[in-house]
Structure 1
């Protein structure tokens, strides 16, 4: 049985032919004018490939060419305790597996929110059934349940070495970011997906309930996001995309100032 993948968001389902994609029918996402469309990994492998870019020592970006689904790229982090894949992309092929095995394989997968769940079970199985960490608050959006999926609860979770998953909420109830103390030459980095969205004006970020539909978050939810990451030391942020979605320095102050501006504008 082939597991079908939603063309719009890239999520893989356990059903052979799903009736629809609940993730795309949700008000944070959308279905295109042509309606629901499906594909499979076999078809993806015929038309797409993955590219790798070194972002800094021990951190690599992995993205699909040409873009597929939402178009995000994943991040592969190497640590003394093992490698972690942060966020996920739909395409997994033999070349990708070979390259990652050459970098030390995977010990865990962690994903920021349901828009990036994609084919996480396929990735886990390709690397020895490594655990996939998703926050339990988003359990309803797991479209391919599997024993490799670990639904964690609470506000933080230590992951391998000294990495920490931080529940921020906001975009989704279980919206998560990853703190990497060794990142940014030891100044600390946050891997945020689009739970904290890097914007072109550096070192600023933004926060949204829906990005494609331009639905804002409340002041209380923005304050909660900032409070969740405040205890952690970080100077750099890696967002979800190629291009200008990295804040190289000054990220923590940028998050504070961005939240103040956002909340001020909501009140006007």
Structure 2
């Protein structure tokens, strides 16, 4: 494909990871700044930017993994700088789907993914959790399904399966664009397990005694800055979530086993009843 040839070389450039947010860029040398930090949903590092090569990040940020639910694996870095999202691998008889990226994957983690059958389809909710997606694309050459509305953030990747509002890339695993947090923000619904991988559409505070139990729930346009969503954005969230029969809700940071569609819709309805806000609401107050 002649039109693709100039782009192919760009994907062979070295990757550099932003210490402040974990976003990956491909450059001939360390970039001067990070576009994701400069975006209004994040913050500029007060001590200046630091960019790491993949090898430097692998040495600094150990990667861990665990099977959180049968057939659903979580990968994360600890310790880590930046926002430190988790990555998920959902295994199915029809192939595996990777959703979200942790900051960096170790070689051992990539080998573990290979032992589980690799990755047939790769996706993410929004650019804050793209992170190590380039590693998975380079190793497994999966279909990369991302909303067209966030295409501008995917320069370190090759999008092979853009979609508008909904896509079912594997049976029972459905991507839905919610917009809101980003124009292309999307969620993944695992129909068989009743899990909604909600990206940054929602945020939880967890019980210190039980990391699978959420105590509060909130929604934001920009979590770091405490910016609320607008009523129209909340109505879009409600429209998407109301049609999904989920009993668990997982962000890139929390896996809330006690929050499902009823609790999420109760939050959104309470927010729509008054002026926009971004503060956490105790689940006990939502009935």
Q: TM-score, normalised by structure 1?
A: 0.90
2:235 aligned to 204, 213, 223, which one?
A: 223
1:252 aligns to what?
261
Q: Cα RMSD between the aligned structures?
A: 1.9
Q: What's the CA shift for 1:240? A: 1.4
Q: 16-25 vs 211-220, which deviates more?
A: 16-25
Provide Cα deviations, 1:61-102, integer angstroms capped at 9, x if missing partner: 110121232111111111111111110123122100111122
C-alpha displacement at 1:153, in angstroms?
2.7
Q: Which runs of 5+ in 2 are unaligned?
A: 1-12, 208-213, 278-287
Shift of 1:204: 5.5
Provide closer, same or farther for how the CA distance between residues 203 and 125 of structure 1 changes in structure 2, counting only shifts above 3 A. Answer: same
In structure 2, do the counterparts of structure 1 residues 210 and 111 end up closer, same or farther at CA, with 3 Å as the change threshold?
Answer: same
Q: Deviations 1:158-196 (Å, cap 9, x if unpaired)?
A: 11122100000110011000010111xxxx111112123
Deviating more after overlay: 150-159 vs 134-143: 150-159
Q: Secondary structure at the match of 1:208?
A: coil
Over 3 Å counting, the alpha-carbon distance change for 1:90 and 1:262 in structure 2 is same
- Call closer, same or farther: CA 1:2–1:267 in 2, change over 3 Å: closer
- What's the counterpart of residue 160 of structure 1? 170
2:16 corresponding residue in structure 1: 4
Kept in 1: contact 2:101–2:124 (CA 8 A): yes
Change in CA separation of 1:153 and 1:177 when aligned onto 2, cut-off 3 Å: same
Distance 1:267 1:111, change over 3 A: closer
Selected match of 1:68 from 75, 81, 85: 81
CA distance in 2, matches of 1:7, 1:32: 9
Cα deviation 1:200-238 (Å, max 9, x = unaligned): 484753221111111111111011111112112111111
Matches of 2:147 and 2:48, distance apart in 1: 29
TM-score by length of 2: 0.84
Greater RCO (CA < 8 Å, at least 6 residues apart): 1
Corresponding residue number in structure 1 for 2:26: 14
Cα deviation, residue 121, structure 1: 2.0
For the structure 1 residues 100 and 153, does the alpha-carbon distance in structure 2 shift closer, same or farther, using more than 3 Å as the test?
A: closer
Counterparts of 1:1-268 in structure 2, within 5 Å, are 1-16=13-28, 17-127=30-140, 129-146=141-158, 149-150=159-160, 152-183=162-193, 188-200=194-206, 202=214, 205-241=217-253, 245-266=254-275
Q: Is the 8 A contact 2:84 2:103 kept in 1?
A: no
Alpha-carbon separation, structure 2, partners of 1:205 and 1:110: 24
Give the conservation status (yes or no) of the 8 Å contact 1:203–1:250: no
